[in-house]
Structure 1
Amino acid sequence: MEEDYIKLIFGLKLKQIRTEKNLSLFGLSKLSGLSKSYLNEIENGKKYPKPDKISILSEKLDVPYDQMVSLKLDKNLAPIGDLLRSKVLKEIPLELFGIKESTLIDIVANAPAKVTAFISTIIEIAQHYNFSRENFFLASVRSFQEANNNYFDDLEAQVLKFSEAYQIDLKNKISSKDLEEILIEEYNYEIKNDELSKYEALGTLRSMFVPKTKTLLLAEEIDEAQRTFIYAKELACNFLDFKDRLYTFPWIKFESFDQVLTNFYASYFAGALLLPKKKITSEMTRFFENKTFDSSLFLSAIQKFNASPESFYQRLTNVLPKEFNIQNLFFLRFTHRSHTNKFYLNKELHLSHQHAPHANETNEHYCRRWVSLQVLEDISLSEKEHEFDIQISNYKNEGVKYLVLSSATKDPFKEGQYRSISVGLLINKQLQRKIAFLKDPTIPVRNVGVTCERCSIEDCEVRQAPPIALNKAAKNKKIETIVAELNEKYNG
């Protein structure tokens, strides 16, 4: 058992016993002859008393010695003990958010009953929504992105350093051959293109790296953009000297939060390399300055890079806040299987505000008026390689509007499955200054909701379920109003 854990458990037990006996620290000091500051350090898990001191406390508090030194906690403190024993605090990326572990332990020590209730609540919610360790780590990375406006200057600088060191011209489209040569010549990689496809059970696995022999296995189905992105991630891991990293794409398991974080860093590096900030800023400036909306300008901008539409949209979430000061935005990725009526939101990012839409785990129906879902339906019928559309989404209940750009593409690894990626920009004075075509009447404006169950739009032609949650809230509000009226009537 870790020494810190033993100290903290003893301190929590001592504080609980003292409180139950209605003793202050001053009172316990007078009773035991031990200094108030010394007892305070014990209760806060800073010190562990010597046996003779434990004997004094045991005698004066009338608690058996064995009970005091036992690591077994009663039901009120058991959740905290489970938390500390599980070493979850060691896994939580506290340092990312400027929090010291000692600070969290102080909070636990100073209000054990309240913290226990809070921890129990969090665990219950996590179990209810099947919130896994993977979900927790991904949510932590997402919060880290949002806290930094999804822009990391040190990684941008490393990309420039890499391009200079290996003479990569960021003004031109980067090919997989450009990067493959560096992997082989500089980092002694062996690349095999036909191994993964021999195993049907591997499903959507696109790449696997075997570190001992520096062998990179690739799926035959990947296209040029995917291959280039995989190579760029491998170069990031080597150039940034990541020791604790993930070895498959997409990843199938992890051992620590550091692996999840380095995977994000490698992906960011790859995006910044394949879609250089200066070049994508120039393309988006040209698009935004056009006085009428021109979809061809946006689509041609995507074609200027050797990257998938998803990589392009994700890169916008780095560049728009930094270069255009457009910080109120969201990114969404939906998946959809043709001939079904289900849509899954499996990736999201919100900068500055937690505005809708966002994922829900309660099986509610996402608003079918979203352009994100419309392009998925369109591509499943048209069989095109890329469907693009734009819309102004008016969230009447929330009093906000978003300009939403959305693309849909086919999933090359899953027959009949499609995915859409969208970027939504909050319409405010800042956006109106930046985008000249924002008032173009050809851009459709649609009143939208979050989910059908929470939407007040009447006579919606695509509603999938009645507004159950909204009706319940209205009913409760009516009850509240009547109770207030009765209270006033009979209050004298």
Structure 2
Amino acid sequence: MEEDYIKLIFGLKLKQIRTDKNLSLLGLSKLSGLSKSYLNEIENGKKYPKPDKIAILSEKLDVPYDQMVSLKLDKNLAPIGDILQSKILKEIPLELFGIKESNLIDIVANAPAKVNAFISTIIEIAQNYNFSRESFYLASVRSFQEANNNYFEDLEQSVLKFAEAYHIDLNETITSKDLEEVLVEEYGYTIDVNELSKYEALGNLRSMFVPKTKTLLLANEIDEAQRTFIYAKELAYNFLDIKERLFTFPWIKFDTFDQVLNNFYASYFAGALIIPSEKMKAQLNTIFEKDTFDAHLFLNAIEGFNASPESFYQRLTNILPKAYNIQNLFFLRFTHSANSERFYLKKELHLSHQQSPHANETNEHYCRRWVSIKMLKDISNSKSEHVFDMQISNYENDGMKYLVLSSATKDPFRDNQYRSISVGLLINKQLQRKLNFLNDPKIKSKNVGVTCERCAIMDCEVREVAPVFLNKKAKNEKLESIVQALNAKFS
């Protein structure tokens, strides 16, 4: 048990016992003969008293010595003990957000009842929504991305240093062969493309790294772009000297938050290597300078890199905020099964603020007017490998409009499974300055909502269910109006 935890628990217990007996710090000081400043440090988890001092406090407060030194907390403080004992404060690198662990401990020590109520609320919400440890870690990484506008200059510079060290021309298309040579020759990797496919139960597992023998196992179903991305991530782990890492892609299990964070770092490095910043900006400049949107030019930009459409859209979320000061944007990834009416938002990112199209955990029906949803329907009814469309989404309730670009592709590992990737850009003066084609009359505009249950568009031709939440709100407002009228009548 860590010394800091023991100090804090003793301090919390002492403070609770003191306040239960209606004693001030000064009062306890007079009663025990211990200085007020000393007692204050004990209650704030800064000091742990020696046995003779504990004996004095035990006698004067009329609390058994064993109860005083026990690490067991009563039900009022138990949730705080659980979260402290879980080491969650140690697992999450709070310094990434400019927070010191000591600051949190001070908050806990100074207002245990309020912190307890807050923690209990968070735990209850998490339980009700099946909020897992994985979800918590992913939310933490996402918040870290958002706090930095999803741009990390140190990783961008690391890619440039890597390219220089291994004579990789970032103006040319990066191939898996280019990266495999570095993995094998520089880092001693052995690559096996047959083993994983022998095990049907592994499903969509694309790669597995065995550190003891530096063996990288690859599924033979992966395409060239996926292979290149996996190689680039492995190079990131080695070039950035990352020790705490995940060993499968997608991951199966993790032990620490650092593994999840480092997985993000490696993915960012891979994206920046395969889709270099300068090359992408040159292509975007050509697209943005035109008075009308050239879909072929945009699709050629995607195909100009040895990367999936998802990697390209992810890279947009790095480049647009930094290079063009377009910081109000969102990224969404949906999945969908053919012949199904369910759509699942599996990944999202919001920069600057929480934009309207965000995930919900209450099984509500996402707006069918979203281009993200339309793309999934289109590709599930076609034989295309990649479909693209765009629209201006007008959220009347919020008073905001977004230019949304969306692509949909087949899932290469699952039959009749599809995914759509979308980037939405808030239409404001900054976007109008940067995108000359924004007034292109060919770009469709649609009024949209978030979910059918909360949507006020009454004549929607693709509505799945009635606006039950709005109907309930209208009913309550009518009841309130009648009650106010009766109050006025009989007052």
Shared fold (TM-score, shorter chain, > 0.5): yes
Equivalences for residues 40-59 of structure 1 within 5 A = 40-59=40-59
CA contact (8 A) 2:92 2:258 kept: no
SS in structure 2 of the partner of residue 305 of structure 1: coil
CA contact (8 A) 1:232 1:269 kept: yes
Q: What whole-Å deviation, never above 9, does each CA across 1:15-48 have from its counterpart, x for those lacking one?
A: 0111111111111111111110000001011111
Partner Cα distance (2:233, 2:108) in 1: 40
Paired residue for 2:263? 263
Equivalences for residues 332-371 of structure 1 within 5 A = 332-371=332-371
Paired residue for 1:402? 402
Which has the higher mean CA deviation after the structures are superposed, 244-253 or 56-65?
56-65
1:221–1:51 Cα change, 3 Å: same
1:463 aligns with 2:455: no
How far does residue 488 in structure 1 lie from its aligned partner after superposition? Answer: 5.3
Partner Cα distance (1:59, 1:337) in 2: 68
Structure 1 regions of 5+ residues with no counterpart? none
SS in structure 2 of the partner of residue 34 of structure 1: coil
How far does residue 254 in structure 1 lie from its aligned partner after superposition? Answer: 0.5
Paired residue for 1:38? 38
Structure 2 regions of 5+ residues with no counterpart? none
Partner Cα distance (2:20, 2:143) in 1: 40
1:453 aligns with 2:461: no
Partner Cα distance (1:59, 1:156) in 2: 63
Equivalences for residues 157-168 of structure 1 within 5 A = 157-168=157-168
Equivalences for residues 76-475 of structure 1 within 5 A = 76-475=76-475
Q: What whole-Å deviation, never above 9, does each CA across 1:383-418 have from its counterpart, x for those lacking one?
A: 101100010000011110000000000001000001
In the alignment, residue 364 of structure 1 is paired with which amino acid?
E
Partner Cα distance (2:481, 2:90) in 1: 49
Q: What whole-Å deviation, never above 9, does each CA across 1:300-335 have from its counterpart, x for those lacking one?
A: 111111111000000000000000110000000001
Partner Cα distance (2:49, 2:476) in 1: 55
Partner Cα distance (2:436, 2:88) in 1: 49
Which has the higher mean CA deviation after the structures are superposed, 463-472 or 161-170?
463-472
1:157–1:489 Cα change, 3 Å: farther
SS in structure 1 of the partner of residue 358 of structure 2: coil
Partner Cα distance (1:217, 1:106) in 2: 48
Partner Cα distance (2:101, 2:422) in 1: 37
CA contact (8 A) 1:393 1:447 kept: yes
Which has the higher mean CA deviation after the structures are superposed, 477-486 or 303-312?
477-486
Which has the higher mean CA deviation after the structures are superposed, 83-92 or 115-124?
83-92
Partner Cα distance (1:43, 1:484) in 2: 51
CA contact (8 A) 2:453 2:466 kept: yes
How far does residue 285 in structure 1 lie from its aligned partner after superposition? Answer: 0.9
CA contact (8 A) 1:205 1:249 kept: yes
Partner Cα distance (2:490, 2:153) in 1: 65
In the alignment, residue 441 of structure 1 is paired with which amino acid?
P
SS in structure 2 of the partner of residue 437 of structure 1: helix
In the alignment, residue 301 of structure 1 is paired with which amino acid?
A
In the alignment, residue 195 of structure 2 is paired with which amino acid?
E
Paired residue for 2:61? 61
1:15–1:486 Cα change, 3 Å: farther
CA contact (8 A) 1:379 1:386 kept: yes
Which has the higher mean CA deviation after the structures are superposed, 481-490 or 339-348?
481-490
How far does residue 484 in structure 1 lie from its aligned partner after superposition? Answer: 4.5
In the alignment, residue 175 of structure 2 is paired with which amino acid?
S
Partner Cα distance (1:479, 1:325) in 2: 47
How far does residue 79 in structure 1 lie from its aligned partner after superposition? Answer: 1.2
CA contact (8 A) 1:12 1:112 kept: yes
In the alignment, residue 248 of structure 1 is paired with which amino acid?
T
SS in structure 1 of the partner of residue 260 of structure 2: helix
Structure 1 vs Structure 2: percent identity of aligned residues? 79
Partner Cα distance (2:259, 2:358) in 1: 26
How far does residue 423 in structure 1 lie from its aligned partner after superposition? Answer: 0.3
How far does residue 481 in structure 1 lie from its aligned partner after superposition? Answer: 3.9
CA contact (8 A) 2:191 2:217 kept: yes
SS in structure 2 of the partner of residue 438 of structure 1: helix
How far does residue 478 in structure 1 lie from its aligned partner after superposition? Answer: 3.1
Partner Cα distance (1:213, 1:319) in 2: 37
Partner Cα distance (1:180, 1:65) in 2: 65
In the alignment, residue 429 of structure 1 is paired with which amino acid?
K
Partner Cα distance (1:35, 1:480) in 2: 57
CA contact (8 A) 1:93 1:140 kept: no
Q: What TM-score results when the alignment is normalised by the length of structure 1?
A: 0.98
Q: What TM-score results when the alignment is normalised by the length of structure 2?
A: 0.98
Partner Cα distance (2:367, 2:170) in 1: 40
SS in structure 1 of the partner of residue 436 of structure 2: coil
Partner Cα distance (1:464, 1:247) in 2: 41
SS in structure 2 of the partner of residue 59 of structure 1: helix
SS in structure 1 of the partner of residue 381 of structure 2: helix
CA contact (8 A) 2:364 2:451 kept: yes
What RMSD, in angstroms, separates the aligned Cα atoms of the two structures?
1.2
Partner Cα distance (2:489, 2:154) in 1: 66
SS in structure 1 of the partner of residue 469 of structure 2: helix
Partner Cα distance (1:153, 1:485) in 2: 61
SS in structure 2 of the partner of residue 382 of structure 1: coil
Partner Cα distance (1:403, 1:58) in 2: 67
In the alignment, residue 217 of structure 1 is paired with which amino acid?
L
How far does residue 100 in structure 1 lie from its aligned partner after superposition? Answer: 1.1
Paired residue for 1:13? 13
Partner Cα distance (1:137, 1:319) in 2: 25
Partner Cα distance (2:483, 2:168) in 1: 71
Partner Cα distance (1:192, 1:186) in 2: 17
